[in-house]
Structure 1
Amino acid sequence: MSSASTDLNAIELEIARNRLTSISEEVGMALIRTSYSPNIKDRRDCSAGIYGPDGRLISQAEHIPLHLGLMPTMIANVIAEYGVENLNPGDVLMTNNPYVGGSHLPDMCVITPIFVDDEVVALIATMAHHVDIGGMTPGSMDAAATEIFQEGIRVPPIKLFSGGEIQRETLAFLLMNIRTADKTRGDLMAQVAANRLGERRVLELIEEWGTQEFTSSCDALVAYGERRTRAAISSLPNGTGTFTDYLEHNGVEQVDIPITATVTVSGEEITIDLTEAADQVKGAVNCSYAVAQACAAYVVKMLADPTLPSNAGLTAPIDVRTRPGSLVHAEFPAPVAHGNTQTSQRIVDTILGAFEEFTEHLVPAASSGSMSIVTIGGVDTRTGDYYSYVETYGGGQGAAFDMNGASATHTHMTNTRNTPCEVIEREYPLRVEAYEISRGTGGKGKTSGGDGILRHLTLTHGSATVVAGTSRVTTKPWGLQGGEPGSNAQIQKHTDEETTALPAMSKFDVEAGHGVSIQTAGGGGYGSPH
Structure 2
Amino acid sequence: MTIDVVTTEIVRNLFLSAADDMLATLVRSAFQPLIYENGDAAVALLDRNADVLGQSSGLPLFLGSLDESVKEAVRLRGPGWLQDGDIVFFNDPYIQGTHLNDVTMFAPLYLEGELAGYVAARADITDIGGRDPGGGTETTEVYQEGVRFGPVKIGTKTGPVDDIIDIIRRNSRSKDMIVGDINAMIAACRTGQRRMLEILTRFGLKTIEACRDEIFRQSALADRQVVAAIPDGTYRGKGYLDNDGIVLDQPVPIAIKIVVEGERLVVDLSDSPDATKGPINCGRAQTIAAMRVAYKMLLAPERSFDGGCFRNIEIVTRPGSLHDAVEPAACGWYYSSFGLLIDLFISALADVLPERATAAQFGDSMITYFVGQDRRDPRNTAMCVEAHAGGWGASASTDGADGVINVLNGSFRNTPVEALEERLPVTVTEYAIRRGSGGAGRQKGGCGIIRRYRFDAPTQLYLWLDRSLTPGWGLMGGEAGLPPRVEIAGSVNRSDLLKVNGLQLAEGDSLAIMTGGGGGFGKAV
The normalised TM-score by structure 1 is 0.95
Identify the match of residue 149 of structure 1 among 114, 125, 143.
143
Q: 1:263 aligns with which of 255, 258, 267?
A: 258
CA contact (8 A) 2:240 2:253 kept: yes
Q: Which residue matches 1:170?
A: 164
Matched-pair contact (CA < 8 Å) for 2:358–2:521: yes
Deviation (angstroms), 1:25: 1.2
Q: What amino acid maps onto 1:217 in structure 2?
A: C
Whole-angstrom CA distance in 2 between matches of 1:428 and 1:389? 8
CA distance in 2, matches of 1:499, 1:184: 35
Following superposition, the deviation at residue 480 of structure 1 comes to 0.8
CA contact (8 A) 2:372 2:425 kept: no
Shift of 1:360: 3.0
CA distance in 1, matches of 2:347, 2:479: 16
Q: 1:442 aligns with which of 431, 438, 443?
A: 438
| 2:365 counterpart of 1:354 | no
- CA distance in 2 between counterparts of 1:236 and 1:375 reads 42
Q: Deviations over 1:270-325 (max 9, x none)?
A: 10001001111110111111121112111211222211230121121110001111
Distance 1:363 1:246 in 2: 20
CA distance in 1, matches of 2:51, 2:310: 11
Say if 2:153 is the partner of 1:185: no
Partner of 2:512: 517
* Partners of 2:521 and 2:131 in 1: CA distance: 43
- Residue among 18, 24, 28 paired with 2:23: 28
**Corresponding position: 1:80 with 2:75:** yes
Task: Note the 1:220-231 alignment, pairs <5 A.
Answer: 220-231=214-225
Match of 2:312 in 1: 317
| 2:389 partner amino acid | G
**C-alpha separation in 1, matches of 2:387 and 2:405:** 9
1:387 and 1:153 mapped to 2: Cα distance? 20
What is the aligned partner in structure 2 of residue 477 from structure 1? 472
| Contact 1:468 1:506 survives alignment (8 Å) | yes
Match of 2:427 in 1: 431
Structure 2: runs of 5+ lacking an equivalent: none
Structure 2 counterparts to residues 457-472 of structure 1, below 5 A: 457-461=453-457, 463-472=458-467
Task: Tell me the CA shift for residue 250 of structure 1.
Answer: 0.6
Equivalent in 112, 128, 133 of residue 138 of structure 1: 133
**Within 5 Å, which residues of 2 pair with 1:44-59?**
44-59=39-54
Distance across 1 between alignment mates of 2:163 and 2:304 = 41
Quote the offset at 1:84 in angstroms: 4.5
Q: 1:226 is paired with a residue of what secondary structure?
A: helix
**Cα distance, 1:172 vs structure 2:** 0.6
Distance across 1 between alignment mates of 2:298 and 2:381? 44
Question: In structure 2, do the counterparts of structure 1 residues 104 and 87 end up closer, same or farther at CA, with 3 Å as the change threshold?
Answer: same
Deviates more, 1:128-137 or 1:443-452: 128-137
Q: Distance in 2 between matches of 1:217 and 1:207?
A: 14
Q: How big is the shift at 1:163? A: 2.4
Tell me by how many angstroms 1:249 deviates: 1.3
Deviation at 1:357? Answer: 4.8
* Matching residue of 2:299: 304
Q: Which amino acid aligns with 2:208?
A: F
Tell whether 2:359 aligns with 1:368. Answer: no
CA contact (8 A) 1:241 1:356 kept: no
- Deviation per residue, 1:469-492 (Å, 9 max, x gap): 111224421111110100010122
Partner of 1:453: 449
| Paired AA for residue 419 in structure 1 | T
The 3-state SS of whatever aligns with 1:518 is: strand
Matched residues in 2 for 1:258 and 1:242: separation?
A: 13
1 CA distance for matches of 2:486 and 2:283? 27
Preserved CA contact (<8 Å) 1:254 1:503: no
**What is the match of residue 380 of structure 1?**
374
Q: Alpha-carbon deviations, 1:440-488, whole Å to 9, x = none? A: 1000100011000111223323x33321111122442111111010001
Q: Distance in 2 between matches of 1:71 and 1:158?
A: 16
CA contact (8 A) 1:143 1:285 kept: no
SS in structure 1 of the partner of residue 38 of structure 2: coil
Aligned-partner Cα distance in 2 for 1:14–1:453: 41
Deviations 1:84-131 (A, max 9, x none): 521112211111111013311111111111111222211111111112
Q: C-alpha displacement at 1:232, in angstroms? A: 2.0
Distance 2:140 2:510 in 1: 26
1:327 match: 322
Answer whether contact 1:483 1:524 (CA < 8 A) is retained.
yes
State yes or no: 1:500 paired with 2:494.
yes
Structure 1 SS opposite 2:495: strand
Please state if 1:195 is matched with 2:174. no
Would you say the 8 A contact 1:113–1:120 is kept in 2?
yes
Are 1:398 and 2:393 matched, yes or no? Answer: yes
| Alignment: residue pair count | 521
Code of the aligned partner of 2:107: T
Quick check: 1:241–1:357 contact (8 Å CA) kept in 2?
A: no
Structure-1 separation of matches of 2:98 and 2:3? 35
Percent identical across equivalent pairs?
29
Match of 2:96 in 1: 101
TM-superposed CA distance for 1:515, in Å, is 4.1
- SS of the residue aligned with 2:250? strand
Secondary structure, aligned partner of 2:217: helix
- Asked whether the equivalents of residues 139 and 377 of structure 1 are also in contact (C-alpha less than 8 Å), the reply is no
- CA shift, 1:171, in A, is 0.7
Q: Distance in 2 between the 1:130 and 1:186 partners?
A: 10
Which residue does 2:12 correspond to in 1?
17
Where 1:270 maps in the other structure, the secondary structure is: strand
Partners of 1:71 and 1:102 within 8 A in 2: no
Equivalent residues of 1:240, 1:357 under 8 A apart:
no
Gaps in structure 1 of 5+ consecutive residues: none
CA distance in 1, matches of 2:79, 2:516: 46
Amino acid across the alignment from 1:435 = Y
Give, as a single letter, the amino acid of the residue that structure 1 aligns with 2:98: S
Query: What displacement does 1:379 show?
Result: 4.1
CA contact (8 A) 1:89 1:164 kept: no
Could you tell me which amino acid in structure 2 is paired with residue 418 of structure 1?
N
Output the amino acid matched with 2:86. Answer: D
Residues 231-242 of structure 1 aligned to structure 2 (within 5 Å): 231-242=225-236
1:130-166 per-residue CA deviation (whole Å, 9 max, x = no partner) reads 12111111122x2211001111111111011122321
Q: Distance in 1 between matches of 2:27 and 2:404?
A: 20
Q: How far apart are the structure 1 equivalents of 2:171 and 2:92?
A: 16
CA distance in 2, matches of 1:328, 1:217: 35
User: C-alpha distance in 1, partners of 2:321/2:41?
Assistant: 27
TM-score by length of 2: 0.96
- What is the CA–CA distance in structure 2 between the aligned matches of 1:152 and 1:176, rounded to whole Å? 12
Once superposed, what is the RMSD of the aligned Cα atoms? Answer: 1.6
Secondary structure in 1 matching 2:402? coil
